[in-house]
Amino acid sequence: MKRKLVIRPRAELDLIGHCVYLAAHQPQSAAKLKIAALSTIADIKFNPRSGATASFQTFPDIELRFRKPHGFKNYLIIYQVTDDNVVILRILHASQDIEAALRE
Report pLDDT digits (tens) over 62-99.
789 999 999 999 999 999 999 899 999 999 999 998 88
pLDDT for 71 equals 95
Report pLDDT digits (tens) over 19-68.
999 999 999 999 999 999 999 999 999 999 989 888 777 776 778 999 99
Tell me the sheet residues that pair with 81.
86
Indicate the pTM of the whole model.
Answer: 0.91
What CATH fold (topology level) applies to the domain 4-103?
YaeB-like fold (3.30.2310)
pLDDT score of 103 more than 90 = no
> Cα(4)–Cα(27) distance, rounded to whole angstroms?
33
pLDDT for 43 equals 95
